[in-house]
């Protein structure tokens, strides 16, 4: 129950975070768009490549600056240009992180919805000694959706194919086996939910740090932004 509450809290917090705090300021977006369309293509390629590495290795601002200094040596760039390159890399990285956040949120939502449906189905099965054809279909659909989520596939794409043949009622042993399978599926979804919640927390923390870093970097380069773009052409 505790894990469910934590997962639900993180999910609701992430929605609030995603709608309110995970986007750079309009000024930051404007400079990024202007710079990336005007600077030398080799700088653009370096920014994109370094941003990808920054996300993969969870690089800090200091790490990115070290990379920018190494790159700047090849182009005889000054300190303001280096700060600008850091800004562009962090902006590019933040866009990828935003997509990661949306993807994880969608995954957590699917897991929570699946657990809810599994619990409801299990409760019905435990209250009665037999199953209707509809409940048998629900069990099959629940199993298929669980497998889809475990494989990182879209559970909404899973469709139930109803069998045209007449099915006999499952025996008590078969019913008990179905119940046990449902319990295992619920446990599996709970474990996945906890793992995705941790990933969600990590991405939100990284996004928060990125927004702070971008704000600070923009302040440093704002007065000479146009000259910096000229230097990087």
Ordered by start, the domain boundaries in the chain are 2-231
If one compares 107 and 131, the residue with the highest pLDDT of the two is 107
Residue 125 has pLDDT above 60, yes or no: yes
Quick one: pLDDT band at residue 6, thresholds 50, 70, 90? very low
**Residue 129: CB partners within 8 Å, gap ≥ 6?**
172, 175
CA-to-CA distance for 94 and 86, rounded, in angstroms?
12
Average pLDDT over residues 178-194: 90
């Amino acid at each position: 129950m505790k894990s469910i509450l934590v997962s639900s809290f993180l999910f609701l917090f992430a929605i609030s975070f995603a709608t309110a705090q995970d986007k750079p300021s309009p000024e930051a977006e404007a400079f990024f768009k202007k710079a990336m369309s005007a600077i030398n293509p080799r700088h653009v390629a370096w920014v994109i490549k370094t941003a990808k590495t920054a996300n993969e290795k969870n690089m800090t601002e200091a790490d990115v600056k070290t990379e920018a200094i190494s790159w700047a040596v090849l182009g005889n760039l000054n300190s303001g240009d280096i700060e600008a390159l850091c800004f562009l890399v962090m902006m590019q990285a933040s866009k990828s992180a935003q997509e990661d956040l949306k993807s994880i949120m969608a995954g957590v939502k699917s897991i929570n919805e699946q657990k809810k449906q599994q619990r409801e189905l299990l409760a019905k099965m435990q209250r009665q000694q037999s199953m209707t054809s509809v409940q048998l279909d629900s069990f099959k659909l629940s199993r298929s959706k669980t497998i889809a989520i475990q494989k990182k596939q879209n559970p909404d794409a899973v469709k139930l194919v109803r069998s045209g043949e007449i099915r006999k009622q499952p025996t008590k042993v078969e019913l008990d086996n179905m119940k046990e399978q449902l319990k295992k599926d619920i446990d599996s979804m709970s474990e996945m939910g906890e793992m995705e919640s941790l990933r969600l927390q990590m991405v939100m923390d990284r996004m928060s740090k990125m927004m702070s870093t971008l704000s600070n970097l923009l302040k440093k380069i704002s007065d000479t932004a146009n000259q910096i773009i000229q230097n990087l052409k």
